[in-house]
Amino acid sequence: EGGAARGHARRHSGPIESSAKLDTGHHVPSVGQLTPPLLLREATVNFRLKSFVGCDIGGTLSKIVFFEPFDCKRPEIKRRCDFLKSATTYGKTGRRDPKLEIERWGGRFHFLQFQTNHLDAAVNLLKAHSAHHEFADSSVPVTGGGAYKYEKFLQSELRMGVHKVDELTCLLTGLNFALEHVPDECFFLEHKGPGQLPHRRAHSMAGVFPYLLVNIGSGVSILRVDSAKEFKRVGGSCLGGGTYWGLCRLMLGAKSFKEAMSLGTQGNHHAVDMLVGDIYGGDYGRFNLKASTVASAFGKLVMDEEMKVWAITTETKTETKNKKNTNEVTNKQTQDIKKENTPTTSKKKKATTNK
């Protein structure tokens, strides 16, 4: 989901098209080697937080970042932080990820997310714990389309002021901050040859402008960035993260975004994707394309035999699941009928009477 609020989750940005020169002599450590305390250059940042909470209400997910000062002297801020830290899951879709916490500037940054269509449930949760009073008469910076769509709702339910921040401006500001203050934030992948894993190498920030910023959220926006403050939208696509989740819900019955992501690790895409090897019978050496490279996503489904196998597999799984559910219902009904029709014996009555 778009916006600077999710920048914390990106230890590195993706490949950026640019006219800048490449610094091919510098190896970049892997994501696993970078922990939050090592990310930011200490001496380069000097600012004062205007708010302790920031929100990004996207089309699919809503993200919240809140800052917990170590020496907080304002009781309302402390109560707010204590409530948010009291759990790592909230309702059906809300969760806080302690692994993303960053300690900087005399405090700790915490990050939460939940499905945007559960925004009313999130507000009700705050009310149920009387935590909504902590947001009353305060102004919170909010970005994303939800800053406009839900402004009146938040104002009326939480008595909270909504300071709207343009999504693309916020995204660009957050990215430029990361590029300036996070060492090796910009990198490229160098592939030396077949059978070798690509190496990450730092991208020199000298002369980085202009560059293309591809922002993949529920949909996709492509921006041309000419300077720290100049940019324009040059393209986009309606196929994005929302498309993936929508297909998972439609075809596989996924009930949450987390479940949809989990399903992506279980399947075998070779059963439906047409690979280079399916076309050439092996590698395509001239262009260094391995046989396992996807040539056409879902391409095998246009061929009758593969489509038939896929359909049978899907039907079998569905039938097995339905049969299991039917058996469970039947067994329960049988037990209920037996229970209702079991007579109380006269012997038991006599024994009770004699006692």
pLDDT of 161 over the 90 cut: no
Positions of E strands within the chain: 22-27, 53-57, 61-69, 89-90, 94-96, 102-104, 107-115, 139-143, 161-164, 187-190, 199-203, 211-216, 220-225, 231-237, 274-275, 294-296
Q: Domain holding 74: CATH number?
A: 3.30.420.510
The pLDDT of residue 287: 87
Mean per-residue pLDDT for 339-352?
50
Give the closest residue to 168 by CA, choosing from 127, 208, 224, 114: 224
The pLDDT of residue 80: 77
How far, in Å, CA of 309 to CA of 272, rounded?
10
Range of the domain at 48: 4-169
The more confidently predicted of residues 310 and 126 is 126
Kindly state whether residue 66 falls inside one of the protein's structural domains: yes
Please calculate the CA angle 271-294-190 and round it to the nearest 5 degrees: 140
The pLDDT of residue 306: 58
Kindly state whether residue 321 falls inside one of the protein's structural domains: no
Reduced to 3 states (helix: H, G, I; strand: E, B; else coil), residue 323 is helix
Kindly state whether residue 350 falls inside one of the protein's structural domains: no
Kindly state whether residue 94 falls inside one of the protein's structural domains: yes
Strands 161-164 and 187-190, bridge-based pairing: unpaired
pLDDT band at residue 37 under the 50/70/90 scheme: very low
pLDDT of 30 over the 80 cut: no
The pLDDT of residue 317: 56
Give the closest residue to 19 by CA, choosing from 179, 178, 226: 226
Question: Which stretch, 170-174, 187-191, 210-214, has highest mean pLDDT?
Answer: 210-214
Whether 3 and 174 have beta carbons less than 8 Å apart is answered as yes
In the chain, how many domains are there?
A: 1
DSSP 126: H
Strands 139-143 and 102-104, bridge-based pairing: unpaired
Kindly state whether residue 260 falls inside one of the protein's structural domains: no
The pLDDT of residue 104: 81
How far, in Å, CA of 108 to CA of 302, rounded?
52
pLDDT of 72 over the 60 cut: yes
Backbone region of residue 18 per phi and psi (left: phi > 0; alpha: psi in -120 to 50; beta: other values): beta
Reduced to 3 states (helix: H, G, I; strand: E, B; else coil), residue 241 is helix
Kindly state whether residue 331 falls inside one of the protein's structural domains: no
How far, in Å, CA of 1 to CA of 25, rounded?
33
pLDDT of 35 over the 50 cut: no
Mean pLDDT of the chain: 75
19 backbone dihedrals φ, ψ, rounded to 5°: -95, 5
CA distance to 41, 43, 181, 205, 313, per residue, from 46 (Å): 11, 8, 11, 21, 59
- Catalytic annotation, residues: 167
The pLDDT of residue 274: 93
Encoding tokens for residue 282?
Answer: 């092996």
Kindly state whether residue 32 falls inside one of the protein's structural domains: yes
Encoding tokens for residue 88?
Answer: 């790592």
The more confidently predicted of residues 44 and 268 is 268
pLDDT band at residue 275 under the 50/70/90 scheme: very high
The more confidently predicted of residues 192 and 166 is 166
How far, in Å, CA of 278 to CA of 155, rounded?
57
* pLDDT, tens digit (0-9, with 9 covering 90-100), for 143-157: 999 999 999 999 998
pLDDT band at residue 222 under the 50/70/90 scheme: very high
Give the closest residue to 68 by CA, choosing from 39, 37, 109, 35: 109
The pLDDT of residue 147: 92
Residue 289: in which H helix or E strand, if any? none
Encoding tokens for residue 272?
Answer: 């439906």
Share of the chain above pLDDT 70, in %: 67
Query: Which of 90-115 are b and which e, b meaning 16 or more Cβ less than 10 Å from the residue's Cβ?
Result: beebbebeeeeebeebebbbbbbbbb
The pLDDT of residue 139: 84
Query: pTM of the predicted model, to two decimals?
Result: 0.59
Kindly state whether residue 122 falls inside one of the protein's structural domains: yes
Residue 194: in which H helix or E strand, if any? none
